[in-house]
Amino acid sequence: MAPRAHYPPPQPLPDPRLSPLQWASAGTRWAAASGTWRCGSTPTSTRSGGDGPDIYKGKICSLKARALLIDMEEGVVNEILQGPLRDVFDSKQLITDVSGSGNNWAVGHKLYGSQYRENIVEKLRKAAEHCECLQCFFIIHSMGGGTGSGLGTFVLKLLEDEFPEVYRFVTSVYPSGEDDVITSPYNSVLAMKELNEHADCVLPIENESLFDIVNKIHQMANSGKLGSTVKQNSLITSSAGSAKTAQEKPFDAMNNILANLLLNLTSSARFEGSLNMDLNEITMNLVPFPRLHYLVSSLTPLYTLADVNVPSRRLDQMFSDAFSRDHQLIQADPKHSLYLACALLVRGNVQVSDLRRNIERLKPSLHFVSWNQEGWKTGLCSVPPVGHSHSLLALANNTCVKPTFIELKDRFMKLYKKKVQLIIITSVATNHEYLALLKQILVSQRSCLKVTAQDFCLCYLKKSFQWLLLKKGNLLIDLYIPGYILIVFSSELVSDRSAYQLEMD
Amino acid sequence: MSIVTVQLGQCGNQIGHEVFNTICSDVRDTHGLCSKKENESYRDASKERFFCEEQSEVPVARAVLIDMEPKVISQTLSLAARSGYWKYDDGSHFSQKQGSGNNWANGYSVHGPRHKEVIMDLVQKEAEKCDRLAGFFTIMSMAGGTGSGLGAFVTQCLRDAFPTSFLLNHVIWPYSTGEVIVQNYNSVLTLSHLYKSADALLVHENDVVHKICAQLMNIKQISFKDINQVIAHQLGSVFQPTYTAEGGLHYSRNPLGDLMETLVPHPEFKMLGLRNIPQMPENSLAYSTFSWPGLIKHLRQMLIANAKMEEGIDWQVQPPRLGSSIPSSHSTNKPLHFNTSIANLVILRGKDMHSVDLGSFQDPSLYTSWLNPKDAFHSWKTLRAFNKYEKSASLVSNSQFLLKPLDNVVGKAWNMFASKAYIHQYTKFGIEEEDFLDSFTALEQVISSYSSL
């Protein structure tokens, strides 16, 4: 049963200018705590492993990613270590377990949190010690699962305690409506609470949006409508570069959008520009009130233009696109919602007059909150992404995030109201205690839920994705299971039983 | 006498670099359309003012570069060194790794106190290099965090450390929209603090300079470099050597002192604006001729109609007739936007400037009633042409010109303050709501003083 919010690591970036190498040599240092969720993490920065950064035949040799890869199972991380980016990571940067978090926020947050706390802190400290000036942590995780959302938000809290001065930017992948993790609304809502309190800035991302964007690019590239002006492979989705492996995984294109988001976000700190915009300026300008720190992002242009001498119309199109529904990284329409603030991070051959013209042009069609009618923040970085003559990342603090959150809440309430009770056992010492507790729960639940003898509870044992039926008085529980299980009591689930059984395969 | 320039933040450092570039290229001009002797004494005076020539071959700018972030300073230093005509002192810059993040409070309350000693040491060293120190010229923007916050702090420190030196702050007024979202907060805090410690504030508005680039300089794709060059040209036209009326045959010794003495007769009024005429693309210069009366006529109308450039001047605006108490008593449909001055200074550079009649600037109706027009108007002149312009005239004016922008900034900041937006970012670094209120009060006072002229 594979949740859809899978993010294998993004492909290595093809050009040295964009490669993590430059992130280090540009003199600005980050540490990245990548709370990997069910799958994968993104290296966001590197540190020099030797005397200096070194590139040999387009491959990074002596650099190590300034990243911490955390997953409570081994598959994905192992894949990374065998993949093209293996030289960038070493085993000191990994924290893995074998049993996973079973799509249970509490397991990730409470159990693994306390279990791995020391280990995580130590590794973070080590990474931080290598930084001349630690500015920001990027946390990349998903909201629906157990490790990313639970342990991820635990790490977030940990970072606040250990490095209170350092900014915490979180890139959160929100579950979609058809998410196949039953518990994802619970996990997401629990994680949201942590994000509200401990993050400086959250960039919500939705899989559906990424998927649509990838499709759109493929359509554009294949339709031939734009003729020779569009290269077949857009940089945002493809990584036509040195370290690319033969087979491209389905999520690679989507992950690359995310990678580009982070690259553009940090471009001004890495390269020169006539109007710098550091990471701390993002929170300063876009977060008017401490908890309203959810920023909707959009990237343009999505395809690489072959013609470098861009006519002005196309440049203006880039600005218009950034505000269109199709280019947002969540399912939202900022144009018809209220802006609290908006930032434009421009890269490449764009001058202040282009910026001003476009702001003037777009302003009438956008609604800004009364006390911030001129809520625009701009940054100009002179180095464009590879293959582009210019690019734009728009960050909006906009009320259009509301539908995403409301939908999440509705799904949460639906589950909650249906009396699908989730009993989350977070600390069990021995199997004996565990069985006793389980019995106790069964008894108490029966009394309050009027569970009949035919009712059953589903034990969702995460590691092997096995579903065990628990019948009254006949507990079919393997005594060697770890002490953490998620039990779903419900009479309504009976009818779904066959469905679940199908998924077991 | 020498001026020590203090460049603060990205904006300050970029503009400072352009200023020294402009001055240097102006001085290198061998003939300057005047006699050789004249040109030499002009060059010596200018060099003494802005550069020191110790052991090195090229002049070294008398400047201290400060930023909380390394990229801009390293770029500025290498650009200057590469020019081959001048450079910055290798030891007189200070930068950190992480910028102030557009947060005034971060610059003022965190970076300022933390780095005070290093910065003041640099300034002290630079000041000691001067045989005679005229004062400090601080270049900064109001919108960001380092220029504005740290700038306000450093200005205070300068005031404490050099109580008798002149402090002129060159302040870049941000675009009315689209630069920094908290720019109005930062501006209010900056202006109110500078008003306490600086002797005068010389203001350039980005919007105005942008317009000059578009309409006069005919630049299609305007970059910050273009904008900074226009600003540098205007600053150069004021600070390059001239003869004052009293100075006789020598170039003025004390540019900052003379400027303050001329333009700031009252500590409540210290906002200075700068206009320059003519301005055009370099390749059109050869085909243009100017007459002094024409230039002066334009410049005067720019002053009274508060036009920032020679295009689009409202010629309808006339000074109020003396005796009539209300300026708008004329029977025109348009309300009069007459710009009342406290004091003006006209600087003429180029040939035949002795014959120029500046009587129109001495009209008492231009000025406030409590100052004698003779004291309110001054002119500086030199035969030496400036920066390839055969004739050029600059006007530095202490007038109501900034009333509207100031009122706008305070109004917008107040609007935001009323909803308490972004305040938490400032309290995080120790700037409380009360500090905001004090700043608002201080600026309201300035506004009311200027409007009652």
* Closest in A276, A278, A341 to B181, CB measured: A341
Q: Are B97 and B142 in contact (CB under 8 A)?
A: no
Q: A135, A137, A278, A369: which to substitute to probe chain B, counting the most B Cβ within 10 Å?
A: A278
Question: Is A352's CB within 8 Å of B227's CB?
Answer: yes
Read off the pLDDT of each residue in B337-353 and give the average, rounded to a whole number: 89
In this structure, of A44-48, A370-374, B255-259, B433-437, the range with the lowest mean pLDDT score is: A44-48
User: pLDDT per residue over A433-479, tens digit each?
Assistant: 555 555 555 544 443 333 322 233 333 333 322 333 333 333 333 22
Read off the pLDDT of each residue in A88-94 and give the average, rounded to a whole number: 82
The residue of chain A nearest to residue B416, with distances taken between CA atoms, is: A371
Predicted confidence band of residue A429 (pLDDT cuts 50, 70, 90) = very low
Residues of chain B contacting residue A354, judged by C-beta atoms under 8 Å apart: 221
CB within 8 A of B38, min separation 6: which ones?
Answer: B32, B382, B383, B384
CB within 8 A of B171, min separation 6: which ones?
Answer: B140, B141, B142, B190, B191, B194, B201, B202, B203, B204
| Structure confidence at residue B417 (pLDDT) | 95
Task: Report strand pairing: A390-398 vs A296-300.
Answer: antiparallel
- ∠ CA A104-A106-A112 to the nearest 5 degrees? 100
Closest C-alpha among A157, A233, A261, A252 to residue A199: A157
Return the percentage of chain A with pLDDT > 90, whole number.
28
Average pLDDT, chain A: 70
* Closest in A133, A274, A376 to B223, CB measured: A274
b/e burial code for range B293-326 (CB count within 10 A of at least 16 → b): eebbebbbbbbbbbbbbbeebeeebebbeeeeee
Question: Is A285's CB within 8 Å of B180's CB?
Answer: yes
| Structure confidence at residue A252 (pLDDT) | 79
Q: Where are the alpha helices (DSSP H) in A69-206?
A: 75-82, 105-106, 113-129, 152-162, 184-198
User: pLDDT per residue over B168-178, tens digit each?
Assistant: 999 999 998 87
Question: Is B419's CB within 8 Å of A371's CB?
Answer: yes
User: pLDDT per residue over A39-49, tens digit each?
Assistant: 223 333 333 33
Per residue, what are the HEC states of A160-181?
HHHCCCCEEEEEEEECCCCCCC
Which one-letter amino acid corresponds to residue B265?
P
Closest C-alpha among B162, B155, B161 to residue B201: B155
Predicted confidence band of residue B8 (pLDDT cuts 50, 70, 90) = very high
| Structure confidence at residue A91 (pLDDT) | 79
DSSP β-bridge partners for residue A281: none
Q: Provide the token pair at A454.
A: 């035919």
| Distance of alpha carbon A39 from alpha carbon A5, whole angstroms | 8
- Indicate if the pLDDT at residue A28 is higher than 80: no
Question: Is B177's CB within 8 Å of A272's CB?
Answer: no
Residues of chain B contacting residue A27, judged by C-beta atoms under 8 Å apart: 70-71, 97
The residue of chain B nearest to residue A271, with distances taken between CA atoms, is: B71
User: pLDDT per residue over A246-286, tens digit each?
Assistant: 345 667 788 888 888 998 999 988 888 888 888 889 999 99
Q: Three-class SS of residue A331?
A: coil
| Structure confidence at residue B199 (pLDDT) | 94
Question: What is the distance in angstroms between the Cα of A17 and the nearest Cα belonging to chain B?
Answer: 17
pTM, two decimals, is 0.82
- Indicate if the pLDDT at residue A495 is higher than 60: no
Higher pLDDT, residue B39 or A436 = B39
Residues of chain A contacting residue B416, judged by C-beta atoms under 8 Å apart: 371-372
Q: Taking CB atoms and an 8 Å cut-off, how many pairs form between chains A and B?
A: 119
| Structure confidence at residue A194 (pLDDT) | 93
Q: Are B170 and B38 in contact (CB under 8 A)?
A: no
Q: Three-class SS of residue B143?
A: coil
| Structure confidence at residue A496 (pLDDT) | 38
Q: Where are the alpha helices (DSSP H) in B84-223?
A: 104-105, 112-128, 151-161, 183-197, 206-211
Q: Are B52 and B82 in contact (CB under 8 A)?
A: no
Question: Is A352's CB within 8 Å of B210's CB?
Answer: yes
| Structure confidence at residue A61 (pLDDT) | 62
Predicted confidence band of residue A236 (pLDDT cuts 50, 70, 90) = low
The residue of chain B nearest to residue A342, with distances taken between CA atoms, is: B181
Read off the pLDDT of each residue in A388-400 and give the average, rounded to a whole number: 91
Question: Is A351's CB within 8 Å of B222's CB?
Answer: yes
Residues of chain B contacting residue A280, judged by C-beta atoms under 8 Å apart: 98-103
| Structure confidence at residue B336 (pLDDT) | 60
User: pLDDT per residue over A288-310, tens digit each?
Assistant: 999 899 999 998 887 654 444 45
In this structure, of A488-502, B66-80, B347-361, B392-406, the range with the lowest mean pLDDT score is: A488-502
Question: Is A280's CB within 8 Å of B97's CB?
Answer: no
* Closest in A287, A353, A374 to B176, CB measured: A374
CB within 8 A of B442, min separation 6: which ones?
Answer: B192, B195, B196
Question: Is A353's CB within 8 Å of B210's CB?
Answer: yes
Question: Is A281's CB within 8 Å of B10's CB?
Answer: no
Q: How far is CA B440 from CA A111, B193, B196, B450, in A?
A: 52, 11, 14, 15
* Closest in B101, B175, B424 to A290, CB measured: B424
| Structure confidence at residue A27 (pLDDT) | 26
The residue of chain B nearest to residue A288, with distances taken between CA atoms, is: B422
- ∠ CA B110-B114-B120 to the nearest 5 degrees? 120
| Structure confidence at residue A439 (pLDDT) | 55
* Closest in B100, B214, B421 to A288, CB measured: B421
Predicted confidence band of residue A102 (pLDDT cuts 50, 70, 90) = confident
| Structure confidence at residue A245 (pLDDT) | 38
Return the percentage of chain B with pLDDT > 70, whole number.
96
Question: Is B221's CB within 8 Å of A287's CB?
Answer: no
Assess A356–B contact: CB distance below 8 Å, yes or no. yes
Read off the pLDDT of each residue in B107-114 and give the average, rounded to a whole number: 94
- ∠ CA A381-A384-A390 to the nearest 5 degrees? 95
| Structure confidence at residue A223 (pLDDT) | 63
Assess A275–B contact: CB distance below 8 Å, yes or no. yes
Residues of chain A contacting residue B15, judged by C-beta atoms under 8 Å apart: none
Question: Is B221's CB within 8 Å of A376's CB?
Answer: no
User: pLDDT per residue over B419-443, tens digit each?
Assistant: 999 999 999 999 999 999 999 999 9
Question: What is the distance in angstroms between the Cα of B422 and the nearest Cα belonging to chain A?
Answer: 4
Higher pLDDT, residue A31 or A130 = A130
Q: B15, B76, B77, B98: which to substitute to probe chain A, counting the most A Cβ within 10 Å?
A: B98
Assess A278–B contact: CB distance below 8 Å, yes or no. yes
φ, ψ for residue A268, nearest 5 deg: -70, -25
| Structure confidence at residue A132 (pLDDT) | 83
| Structure confidence at residue B263 (pLDDT) | 93
The residue of chain B nearest to residue A291, with distances taken between CA atoms, is: B424
- Indicate if the pLDDT at residue A227 is higher than 90: no
In this structure, of A365-369, B60-64, B186-190, B246-250, the range with the lowest mean pLDDT score is: B246-250
Count of beta carbons in the 10 Å neighbourhood of residue A92? 10
Predicted confidence band of residue A9 (pLDDT cuts 50, 70, 90) = very low
* Closest in B177, B178, B425 to A284, CB measured: B425
State the burial class of residue B359 (Cβ atoms within 10 Å of its Cβ: 0-12, 13-18, 19+): exposed
Residues of chain A contacting residue B102, judged by C-beta atoms under 8 Å apart: 280-281, 284-285, 377
The residue of chain B nearest to residue A341, with distances taken between CA atoms, is: B181
Most confident of A17-21, A129-133, B442-446: B442-446
Q: Provide the token pair at B18.
A: 């352009």
The residue of chain B nearest to residue A166, with distances taken between CA atoms, is: B98
| Structure confidence at residue B420 (pLDDT) | 93
User: pLDDT per residue over A183-194, tens digit each?
Assistant: 788 889 989 999
| Distance of alpha carbon A460 from alpha carbon A452, whole angstroms | 20
* Closest in B75, B177, B418 to A272, CB measured: B75
The residue of chain A nearest to residue B145, with distances taken between CA atoms, is: A281
Assess A107–B contact: CB distance below 8 Å, yes or no. no
Q: Three-class SS of residue B14?
A: helix
The residue of chain A nearest to residue B9, with distances taken between CA atoms, is: A276
| Structure confidence at residue B315 (pLDDT) | 87
